[in-house]
Chains A and B, each alone.
Chain A
């Protein structure tokens, strides 16, 4: 890291806060432009997918643990739709696969 940590934090805070607070304070009417609404609707899912895959596969240094974590995470998400169960299951799977890999 060569930049100033506090400037990095303040930059992230300023942008994040403006995104959240501007609609709350300025926009009193609903967004009507169909393309803008559709674009904003897809953005979170696309960006989270790009950030997660393939990074999760290589994150632990063991490709099998990463793949298992991805698959189990998706399965638990499909059936429970519970944020914290999914996050927990992903972690536990990596732990178990790594234990097995080390024992072999």
Chain B
């Protein structure tokens, strides 16, 4: 490829990434705003919450971070919880590694690793071939929406009327529902696993003695238990599915 043509191709890839990032960023902004309200409730300043969002780019992971920090958990508990809550990114990164253009060097992979989220993964995996510049384009726009949303959630969240803040604080749960339900709809094994998880979670939240377990331990324990049983009872087919 000539130098001029490579330049044009690079610009095309970057622009394509930026464009694909716009709808993601708009959605992120709203959800991050709700996350920012949670962060403020946990005692984080706007700068600290924005820093967490810029670095982590993970709704469930940051929600866990904010709640555990508010509960004065140990750093080890935070580390284990992040591992559990974000375990799905391990699978996504495995799948994404098969899609990355072979000319992406280690530095590029280290950079893309910052932006493996549910939505960016979803968009990337639908491409024929993922270039570094395409992913970079998506990351610029998405990270901006996510970080700005979090920052505003902390700052403006306090100014909003109480009933609006209360309403927005369930936005994250709504996002989690939006990840689980479609999967459960298309795969009844996921449905069974999710139902079992919901029942056990309710039992461990309300039953005497059991409800004394710390929230983090409950989440980790039930996740490992239910996922392991599901993996034994409903193993994936030899090829594909995941």
A-side residues, CB < 8 A to B, are 1-3, 5-9, 11-17, 19-25, 27-28, 30-31, 34-35, 37-56, 59-61, 66, 69-70, 73-74, 77-78, 81-92, 94-95, 98-99, 102
Residue contact B223 to A89, C-beta cutoff 8 Å: no
Residue contact A48 to B113, C-beta cutoff 8 Å: no
B-side residues, CB < 8 A to A, are 26-27, 30-31, 34, 42-44, 48, 51-52, 55-58, 60-65, 68-70, 72-75, 78-79, 82-94, 96-98, 100, 106, 109-110, 112-114, 116, 118-119, 163-164, 166-185, 189-190, 193-194, 197-198, 200-202, 205-206, 218-219, 222-223, 226-228, 230-232, 234-236, 238, 241-242
| Closest chain A residue, CB of each to CB of B85 | A47
Q: Which residues of A contact B236 (CB under 8 A)?
A: 34, 37-38, 41
| Closest chain B residue, CB of each to CB of A4 | B75
Task: Tell whether A90 pairs with B84 under 8 Å between CB atoms, given A35-B235, A43-B227, A46-B193.
Answer: no
Task: Tell whether A42 pairs with B171 under 8 Å between CB atoms, given A20-B113, A21-B93, A51-B176.
Answer: no
Q: Which residues of B contact A46 (CB under 8 A)?
A: 193-194, 197, 222-223, 226-227, 230
Q: Which residues of A contact B97 (CB under 8 A)?
A: 23-24, 27-28
Instruction: Give Cα A82–Cα B112 distance, bound, in whole angstroms.
Output: 25
Task: Tell whether A19 pairs with B86 under 8 Å between CB atoms, given A31-B94, A99-B163.
Answer: yes
Q: Is the interface of B mostly helix, strand, loop or mixed?
A: helix
Residue contact A8 to B60, C-beta cutoff 8 Å: no
Task: Tell whether A47 pairs with B219 under 8 Å between CB atoms, given A9-B48, A90-B171.
Answer: yes
Residue contact B177 to A16, C-beta cutoff 8 Å: no
Task: Tell whether A34 pairs with B238 under 8 Å between CB atoms, given A8-B78, A12-B52.
Answer: yes
Residue contact A24 to B182, C-beta cutoff 8 Å: no
Residue contact B87 to A43, C-beta cutoff 8 Å: yes
Q: Which residues of B contact A41 (CB under 8 A)?
A: 91, 231, 236, 241-242
Task: Tell whether A16 pairs with B184 under 8 Å between CB atoms, given A3-B69, A46-B197, A52-B173.
Answer: no
Residue contact B179 to A16, C-beta cutoff 8 Å: no
Q: Which residues of A contact B219 (CB under 8 A)?
A: 47, 50-51
Task: Tell whether A42 pairs with B193 under 8 Å between CB atoms, given A12-B62, A77-B177.
Answer: yes
